[in-house]
Chain A
């Protein structure tokens, strides 16, 4: 393997990691506030659809992204109403959201565009273009560092940079701001937060809606940056991989990035390993690599490699004492 093969593998890793990372951080905000979110998949899918429809109709990727975020937030609001206001079961709400997104996107897509659920091809400007960072081509000649900069760091879609910048931002928000402190507290001990005179409901809504925004961005990335248009069920389980990554990272932002990078790398490897004979082990079935994130998460949760314990108040609706 020469350096360019390695770089292209890493480049693919970054591209495949981005939607996972955005969805994973979405789950992080939500679950850190004590609201389980297995509806990441559905919110992402709905966001992808919204973004593709608006981008196709207006020809503006930015408006598309905004629409994706709007749809993501709308679905997050459903989750918020069900699990915060009505104190319903957060898991069931997530299941419903996943189904609703899968059904509605195909149904509306088919009845609006009649292309088997796909949205029309994006017009000029409807899709994000890769961003060349300054001096990318000039520096490409420098050995090792040059190609790394020009191939790996430069030349991605804006949402890739947003996703990776969200990691330090989330770290800062979570551990260095008052909002973050309260967010972490409300996921561990909502009663204490309530006793301090802070609204549990408001905090949890904020967290759930932030998750909606991030899922919308993840969806927009899939349909109008990485892909060109929406296809049926295009998230294909990424929301659940993101959930697995979140647990793998023990609900912390920086490890979340590494977990997503690991799962993105596995995804990139899986395409390259098809039909390749490896020394000693021979051919690795694609399915084994596909199942690896889930297996790793189960093993981690079971405490065989470290221990993952979620926010203590997770999944429990908060009822003020009367």
Chain B
């Protein structure tokens, strides 16, 4: 048992997640067979739906944009040793900030008005969503309540607030449905299809550029700034951070604030660009999927981008499944759950056997491994 050596980096980063993902897909195939569908046909439909034509690609990229934001949100918190399970609620309540600014400046009437409104709406959304994460951060840092539980509770509180706001405050008198007034001018974020016919009617929009910028910014933040270094120190060893003179409580609050601000960008991608108004439950579970994205992406922006694309493809492929094969959209939720289960919670499933397999590769490595494990026993 103890003579195992850790996996080579490429196996840990690529092979293990790939095996876990494969297992999730195999079990999804079994579920499909239980309901009497051909899994290969379904896989074919999903791949075509996600990548086979321009509109499909556009939808895949649109969903992937959401997952980049929530994946980064979870990852930034994770680097500081925090588990932000509340990206869902932070992204949801951020819609308030985004829509208020967008509605206020909707009739601004200058050319390319969106270039002014979109950044302002982003700041407002980030402020509201960031605050919604900062409070649990504050409560953990200063009052000692665990951020996991607090963010779960905050998801439900956000949900109640949004129902109230949409029914009582933001709903124009002329509409029946619980939704805000519709954006018609500068408040709307332009769609990429206005520039490229390739995307058909797909909702992929300018926010995807924000997502790419966010990936780069998080990379720089985590690995090339003092703050990022301090956050990682806190995540790896809180007492070391204290001895190094860092303020843990300050770092916790900052990390949570950044995390919430990142999640908030979903409000731009969904509310301003697609719905053009604030509606109920537009976050639709993207926040929770962010946990899986961050896990699969190993909290690294490149990994998160790839994992977000994968989940984007899964979402769009799942839509295609329900249109082409009449399989309930809930199939996506099942696949998603299995991916979270196997790549997340049961991540260690193949690790022991893989480690054994790698150890068998060469006798030299084996002696090395034994030497290492006797010198430094695993904890």
List chain B residues, Cβ under 8 A from A104: 31, 330, 334, 337
The answer to whether the Cβ of B328 comes within 8 Å of any Cβ in the partner chain is yes
Contact across chains for A107 and B328 when beta carbons are under 8 A apart: yes
Cα of A322 to Cα of B1 in the assembled complex, Å: 9
Contact across chains for A111 and B340 when beta carbons are under 8 A apart: no
Some 13 contacts from A to B, beta carbons below 8 A apart, are A38-B85, A86-B349, A95-B288, A99-B333, A99-B336, A102-B337, A107-B328, A237-B156, A287-B161, A290-B160, A291-B157, A302-B139, A310-B146
The answer to whether the Cβ of B347 comes within 8 Å of any Cβ in the partner chain is yes
Interface residues of B in 132-170 (CB under 8 A from A): 139, 143-146, 148-150, 152-154, 156-157, 160-161, 163-164, 168
Cα of A240 to Cα of B86 in the assembled complex, Å: 13
Partner of A106, one of B2, B163, B328: B328
How many residue pairs bridge A and B at CB < 8 Å?
154
Nearest A residue to B1 by beta-carbon distance? A322
A100-B334, A104-B334, A110-B330 given; A91·B83 CB < 8 A: yes
The answer to whether the Cβ of B217 comes within 8 Å of any Cβ in the partner chain is no
A99-B288, A287-B163, A291-B160 given; A298·B139 CB < 8 A: yes
List chain A residues, Cβ under 8 A from B164: 285, 287-288
**Given A92-B344, A106-B328, A301-B143: 9 more A-B contacts, CB < 8 Å:** A86-B347, A87-B348, A88-B344, A97-B341, A99-B288, A102-B337, A103-B334, A294-B160, A301-B149
Contact across chains for B330 and A107 when beta carbons are under 8 A apart: yes
Nearest B residue to A310 by beta-carbon distance? B146
B contacts, CB < 8 Å to A: 1-2, 31, 34-36, 83, 85, 139, 143-146, 148-150, 152-154, 156-157, 160-161, 163-164, 168, 285, 288, 291, 295, 328, 330-338, 340-341, 344-349, 377-379
Cα of A30 to Cα of B205 in the assembled complex, Å: 45
Nearest B residue to A314 by beta-carbon distance? B146
Closest 8 CB pairs of A and B: A103-B333, A99-B337, A93-B345, A301-B145, A103-B334, A291-B160, A100-B337, A96-B341
List chain B residues, Cβ under 8 A from A110: 328, 330
List chain B residues, Cβ under 8 A from A303: 143-145
Partner of B145, one of A82, A88, A95, A302: A302
Contact across chains for B377 and A322 when beta carbons are under 8 A apart: yes
List chain B residues, Cβ under 8 A from A99: 285, 288, 333-334, 336-337, 340
Cα of A36 to Cα of B168 in the assembled complex, Å: 37
Partner of B345, one of A96, A237, A290: A96
Q: Chain B binding site: helix, strand, loop or mixed by DSSP?
A: helix
Looking at A89, A90, A298, the one whose CB has the most chain B CB atoms below 10 A away is A298
Cα of A314 to Cα of B157 in the assembled complex, Å: 25
List chain B residues, Cβ under 8 A from A87: 348
Contact across chains for A88 and B345 when beta carbons are under 8 A apart: yes
Interface residues on A, range: 35 or more
Contact across chains for B168 and A92 when beta carbons are under 8 A apart: no
Cα of A310 to Cα of B156 in the assembled complex, Å: 21
The answer to whether the Cβ of A153 comes within 8 Å of any Cβ in the partner chain is no
Partner of A298, one of B1, B145, B340: B145
Cα of A302 to Cα of B345 in the assembled complex, Å: 28
List chain A residues, Cβ under 8 A from B148: 36, 38, 91
List chain A residues, Cβ under 8 A from B154: 294, 298
The answer to whether the Cβ of A169 comes within 8 Å of any Cβ in the partner chain is no
What string of 1s and 0s marks CB contacts (under 8 Å) between A97-126 and chain B? 111101110111011100001000000000
Contact across chains for A88 and B346 when beta carbons are under 8 A apart: yes
Contact across chains for A88 and B156 when beta carbons are under 8 A apart: no
Contact across chains for A83 and B345 when beta carbons are under 8 A apart: yes
Contact across chains for B149 and A247 when beta carbons are under 8 A apart: yes
List chain B residues, Cβ under 8 A from A244: 153
List chain A residues, Cβ under 8 A from B378: 322
Contact across chains for B330 and A81 when beta carbons are under 8 A apart: no
Partner of B156, one of A78, A81, A285, A294: A294
Nearest B residue to A36 by beta-carbon distance? B148
Contact across chains for B31 and A243 when beta carbons are under 8 A apart: no
Nearest B residue to A78 by beta-carbon distance? B341
Contact across chains for B291 and A95 when beta carbons are under 8 A apart: yes
Contact across chains for B35 and A107 when beta carbons are under 8 A apart: yes
